[in-house]
Amino acid sequence: MTVLERPQPRPGVLKIQAYVPGKSSAPGVAKVFKLSSNETPLGASPKAVEAYAAVGSHLEDYPDGASTALREAIGKALGLDPSRIVCGAGSDDILNLLARAYLKDGDEAIHTTHGFLVYPIATLGAGATPVVAAEKEYTADVDAILARVSERTKIVFLANPNNPTGTYIPFDEVKRLHAGLPKHVLLVIDAAYAEYVRRNDYESGIELVATSENVVMTRTFSKIYGLAGLRLGWLYGPAHVVDALNRIRGPFNVGAPSIAAGVAAISDTAHVEHARLHNEKWLAWTSEQIADLGLKVTPSVGNFILIHFPETRGRTAAEADALLTSRGAVLRAVKAYHLPNALRMTIGTEEANRLVVKTLAEFVGKT
């Protein structure tokens, strides 16, 4: 049978490099610390776990298709209008919905060099073309993004903070980016790590969404809330964007256990603050300790750091990764993000962080 004698995917689909999650195991190692997926080391709120379990006796029932309780809980926590919130199976789901709703064959969507891999995947899946804007010092460059805007541009994806670099641009720069975009271009601010940021010049995007017709903000419960296993995310946007997404999303795209856990998680402010303080302490400590070993660490405002290695044989990122894995510290290789000489490390427990520093000290000969 020839290729033309079988069903064919739409143009762009076979150009997609499938997303490969961070590894989670270290064969032959008794105790493994998974530091490859930016999961919180503190786990989910006990209240979220309890709420999740309580739904188990009613799994025969469909969930609320509008995720009403969750949208209201998010609105209460952040002072937002619940009618302008859309929930989905992780922010990945929301990003793909945006691409489906606003991109067509021949359109373009812009993302930065080291932007989240889902952006080009969603773009190609919708039949559009991903356009890459160069970064400056591993940070989004507003002028470079604006220079790539063409008559075909329909979406600009901006991860702020960015994964895997951990960098961000101040709110004034986000506003400058928005001001430079044509009115018909949708600015998607992906603020998955917003809860971790402790900078006075940072804003997650809520204010810009509230005052604009072409800006949306996406968020997730996978990081600081510890609900990655449930796949839960949400969007805050103008009413007309929310209306479009609600027309194409699945009628029950968020499960009842996820809704219940999300409501409890966002309400447990003490657990969130504990996670934030833990990250603040160990992000600073780990970054400083690794830098003291002579390895470059990109300054991060998230719950992870990007560690750079030389190309010198015996000192490469791949060799460091192999040694770390053998000791039970599983980091993320980021070659797919055009960073072949770097590893991304999630900030973990005290034991995990100290293990990484100790192992890297041995790796560079500073034990």
Is 166 exposed, middle or buried, given 0-12, 13-18 or 19+ CB atoms closer than 10 A? buried
Q: What span, in angstroms and rounded, lies between the C-alpha atoms of 324 and 249?
A: 41
Q: In the chain, what is the straight-line distance between the N-terminal and C-terminal CA atoms, in Å?
A: 61
* pLDDT for 3: 64
CA distances from 365 to 274, 286, 328, 362 (A): 35, 18, 19, 5
CA distances from 262 to 67, 88, 175, 246, 254 (A): 10, 12, 30, 20, 10
* pLDDT for 353: 98
pLDDT digits (tens, 9 = 90+) for 115-165: 999 999 999 999 999 999 999 999 999 999 999 999 999 999 999 999 999
In this prediction, residue 10 has a pLDDT band, given cuts at 50, 70 and 90, of confident
The DSSP symbol for 64 reads P
In this prediction, residue 2 has a pLDDT band, given cuts at 50, 70 and 90, of low
Q: What angle do CA 284, 287, 289 make, to 5 degrees?
A: 105
Is residue 356 within 8 A of residue 345, CB to CB? The reply is yes
Q: What is the mean pLDDT of residues 315-338?
A: 96
Domain boundaries, given as residue ranges, for the chain? 3-43+270-362, 57-267
For the ranges 22-31, 120-129, 321-330, which has the lowest average pLDDT? 22-31
In this prediction, residue 5 has a pLDDT band, given cuts at 50, 70 and 90, of confident
Q: What CATH class has 57-267?
A: alpha beta
* pLDDT for 142: 98
Q: What is the mean pLDDT of residues 193-205?
A: 97
pLDDT digits (tens, 9 = 90+) for 126-136: 999 999 999 99
Q: What span, in angstroms and rounded, lies between the C-alpha atoms of 24 and 46?
A: 24
Q: What is the mean pLDDT of residues 273-298?
A: 98
Q: What is the mean pLDDT of residues 302-324?
A: 96
In this prediction, residue 1 has a pLDDT band, given cuts at 50, 70 and 90, of low
Instruction: Indicate the CATH number of 3-43+270-362 among 3.30.499.10, 3.40.50.1580, 3.40.190.10, 3.90.1150.10.
Output: 3.90.1150.10
Peptide bond into 182 cis (omega under 30): no
> CA quadruple 268, 93, 121, 102: dihedral positive or negative?
negative
Q: What is the mean pLDDT of residues 337-362?
A: 97
Q: What is the mean pLDDT of residues 293-301?
A: 98
DSSP assignment of 14-57, as one string?
GG-----PPP---TT-SS-EE-SS---TT-S-HHHHHHHHHGGG
In this prediction, residue 30 has a pLDDT band, given cuts at 50, 70 and 90, of confident
Q: Among 73, 34, 75, which Cα is nearest to 51's?
A: 73
Asked whether the predicted pLDDT for residue 301 surpasses 90, the reply is yes
Q: What is the mean pLDDT of residues 211-228?
A: 98
Record the pTM.
Answer: 0.95
